[in-house]
Amino acid sequence: MTCVPVAVPGKRYDVWIGPRARFELRALLAPAGGGRVVVITDDVVAALHLQSLLEVLPGNALSIRVPPGEQSKSIARLAKLYDQLAAFRIERSDVLLSLGGGVVGDLTGFAAATWLRGVPYIQVPTTTEAAVDASVGGKTGVNLPAGKNLVGAFHQPLGVIIDSEFLATLPARDFSAGLAESIKHAAIRDPDLLTFHEKNAARIVAREPAVIEPLLARNVAIKAAVVAADEREADLRAILNHGHTLGHAFEHLLGYELRHGECVALGMIAENAMAQARGLLSPGSAERIRDALAALQLPTRLPRPLDPAAVIDACRMDKKNRGGAIHFMLLREIGAVQRVTDATDAEIAAALVALAP
């Protein structure tokens, strides 16, 4: 079992990583003073893991299920969730608990941030993407028809429990999709982590415990360090958006047929092509990252062509933009990032060629 602390101003919590980490919930909930726990999960995850989680929780725990998929990360589903919390008479002494992937985690976190102006919550991720990235850092939110994560809040959890036994039930595609965020962390912050991926790609894909726990712990430590230095994305935390400006555009335009991590992988490749064209990133570094993504069974091409004008328009709706300029976090080298705010439409369109089907 590994414990990684997260220390943001005025708040400290732990991330527990390993098999049977769910049993740490008992100690985590002890200070809550007997408040009720409401588990929010989706129908697929509930069938796999809800019962084993309820066995660890107090006997008065409640549960709410939402449909699986990105469509649940919406204002409409949030309103239904509020109605259910009202029906349960949830108070500030109660705790919401997210059991699932990034969609459920973001939805639960935003509900916790806004219900009664803020109630405590716990993240129990069951996907690779949520484990290595989304469950840590306190970003919460829902989507609008205009784009991803346009409505949200920063709300740090009481703690995060990453039980690797839950990850074992993921389909291969979903497991690999989350590894894109791990490659992103390596690309922006840790060249040695990229080497670890390259040397152990087959073992990672095979989910060997000897490599999975240290891989998860290193990712959480990277995210924790960045969040501790810049909780609300005033400066440093923006580096975590590498690959996401174009990645979010791809998600939206493809109707969420690809997983979030798959779109982030494609976003990194295209943004690296932009960096390479600007003379920021060497061709060899761009190729290393592309090869590492492919070795982890992530896509390196779009499933079908996208209209460059539509991609650019979707990028203009990104929440990171300021003053009408699209913000990209481009690599200068592996481990170093540069914010770019003057990308032209022609540059963006040219970068898409790297993803041609």
Catalytic residue among 49, 65, 73, 139: 139
Catalytic residue among 148, 218, 223, 320: 223
Does the annotation count 248 as an active-site position? yes
Catalytic residue among 73, 237, 288, 320: 237
Neighbours of 300 (CB within 10 A): 14
Q: Is 203 a catalytic residue?
A: no
Alpha-helical segments (H) within the chain:
25-29, 43-45, 51-54, 75-87, 102-114, 128-129, 164-167, 172-189, 191-205, 209-229, 244-253, 260-277, 283-295, 308-316, 345-351
Residue whose C-alpha is closest to residue 73's, from 94, 104, 116, 50:
104
Instruction: Please answer whether residues 264 and 184 qualify as being in contact, where contact means their C-beta atoms are separated by less than 8 angstroms.
Output: yes
- Catalytic residue, chosen from 218, 242, 244, 288, is 244
Of 129, 181, 231, 271, which is the active-site residue?
181
Catalytic residue check, 49? no
d(CA 257, CA 252): 9
The structure tokens listed for 195 are 């080497």
Q: Answer for the pair 280, 297: CB distance below 8 angstroms, yes or no.
A: no
Annotated catalytic residue 251: no
Catalytic-residue membership of 181: yes
Separation of alpha carbons 352 and 97, rounded Å: 39
Partnered with residue 161 across adjacent β-strands are 16
242 is catalytic: no
Told to judge if 89 belongs to the known catalytic residues of this protein, a careful annotator would answer no
Out of 241, 251, 271, 288, pick the active-site residue.
241
Gap between the Cα atoms of 329 and 69, Å rounded: 28
Phi, psi of 341 (to 5 degrees): -120, 5
237 is catalytic: yes
Burial label for 70, CB within 10 Å (0-12, 13-18, 19+), is: middle
Q: Which of 155, 185, 197, 260 is catalytic?
A: 260
272 SS3 class = helix
**End-to-end Cα, the chain, rounded Å:** 42
Active-site hit among 189, 248, 252, 259: 248
Told to judge if 184 belongs to the known catalytic residues of this protein, a careful annotator would answer no
Q: Among this protein's residues, is 257 annotated catalytic?
A: no
Catalytic sites, residue numbers? 117, 139, 181, 223, 233, 237, 241, 244, 248, 260
